[in-house]
Structure 1
Amino acid sequence: MAILKRFRALIGLLLVLGFIYLFNQETAQDAVFLTWDSLVDMMALLPPILMLVGLMDQWIDKEMLMKYMGDDSKFTGIFITLLLGGLAAGPLYIAFPIAIMLLKKGSNIRYVVFFFGVWTIAKLPIVLYEIASFGWGYTIVHVGFGLVFFYIMGIIFERIFDKDELIKQDIT
């Protein structure tokens, strides 16, 4: 029974794929190929990121991280989060192991949510692309509103969720 619980998402997706196959075999085949390509891409990116997160976990002292990204960090936490997320590269799923490490080391939930927002909308390559494609005005409005939104959401999440409970969550 535990194995069914652990793989319930995969089983559900396979059932949906089987249902799609009954009505449109070509679409189901395209979905399988797309899923396979995504898995190959993810397996190429995830191991180096997990090694980097492991090294960061050993190199970054918990007290130092709490000082700069903890409850009393104020603008320093925002600045460090902007650097971490803004200089990042790669898809969003790479940010999750980093976020877990930040939470375990004592980072405030506000800064972890803000980190996801920065990673999503304010990575340097994305900002440069937006400036080239849409201009400065659009980019400033988009990134500015997005960062304010994610910071406010971080404050809301901080009030709703307990950091210790989030760390204890067992997703396996």
Structure 2
Amino acid sequence: MKRVFRRYAFALIAFLSTVLITLFNREIGMKTFIIAEDSLKQMLGVLPPVMLLLGLMDVWVPRETMMKYMGDDSGFVGIAFAILIGSLAAGPMYAAFPFTLVLLRKGVKFSNVIIFMNAWCVTKIPTLIFELTALGYEFTMVRLLMNLPGIILMGYLVERFLPRDERDKLYMDAEKIQQQSG
């Protein structure tokens, strides 16, 4: 029971805080509940397809293949795959975290994991299409060409400055989560 409470403590505190706010200011409290409901609906619409694709990737793509194309010795190919996978993504950033977990379990180089996450945020194809139509070709290309080096640089900087033992812990935690869930 204590473990469950600790796991959901933040959500419980947020809920109780919203109830408390509602008691003092009904309008703000109700707006908060409506926003939370909309976010929950969005999440329930996004996560099932993401989890399905994630499960397929986890089963169909062997660890050796991921390590070959995105592992420590993957070089430019690993960077390109990380950007491509992140760019093909659809959905909000929280949907990237389960993919990140699979990448860690599959032995993907840490900088490529960070590059994937950055690409998910910055270079998604649906976002680029919107930008093209709303802001024009020139703006979209300039932004993209400015962001790509930053995405790659950020991946290598995070890998460089995150202590090795912390990175190893992330990989081990990803393995533990897989063992606990299956």
Report the TM-score, using the length of structure 1 for normalisation.
Answer: 0.88
Distance in 1, matches of 2:13 and 2:98, equals: 25
User: 116-125 vs 9-18, which deviates more?
Assistant: 9-18
RMSD, aligned CA: 2.1
Matching residue of 2:93: 92
Cα distance in 2, alignment partners of residues 93 and 119 from structure 1 = 10
Name the CA distance, whole Å, in 2 between partners of 1:118 and 1:48: 20
More displaced, 50-59 or 40-49?
Answer: 40-49
| SS at structure 2 position matched to 1:7 | helix
What does residue range 80-119 of structure 1 map to in structure 2 within 5 Å?
80-119=81-120
Runs of 5+ in structure 1 lacking a partner? none
8 Å Cα contact 1:117/1:146 also seen in 2? no
User: 1:72-105 CA deviation, whole Å, 9 max, x = no partner?
Assistant: 1111012112221112212222211111101110
The alignment status of 1:166 with 2:170, answered yes or no, reads yes
Superposed displacement of residue 126, structure 1: 0.8
CA displacement at 1:70 relative to structure 2: 0.8
Q: 1:66·1:105 contact (CA, 8 Å) conserved in 2?
A: yes
In structure 2, relative to structure 1, the CA distance for the partners of 1:7 and 1:99 (3 Å cut) is same
- Runs (4 or more) in structure 1 with deviation over 4 Å come to none
For the residues of structure 1 that align with 2:9 and 2:144, how far apart are their CA atoms? 37
Q: Which residue of 1 aligns with 2:133?
A: 132
Q: How many residues are paired up?
A: 172
Q: One-letter code of the match for 2:168?
A: D
TM-score under structure 2 length normalisation: 0.84
Map 1:37-48 → 2, pairs under 5 A? 37-48=38-49
Q: In the superposition, relative to structure 1, how do residues 141 and 54 fare at CA in structure 2: closer, same or farther (>3 Å)?
A: same
Q: Deviation per CA, 1:32-80, whole angstroms, max 9, x where unpaired?
A: 1221122122123212321221221111111111111011111101211
Mark the CA change 1:23 to 1:4 in structure 2 (over 3 Å): closer, same or farther.
same
Identity between Structure 1 and Structure 2 (%): 37
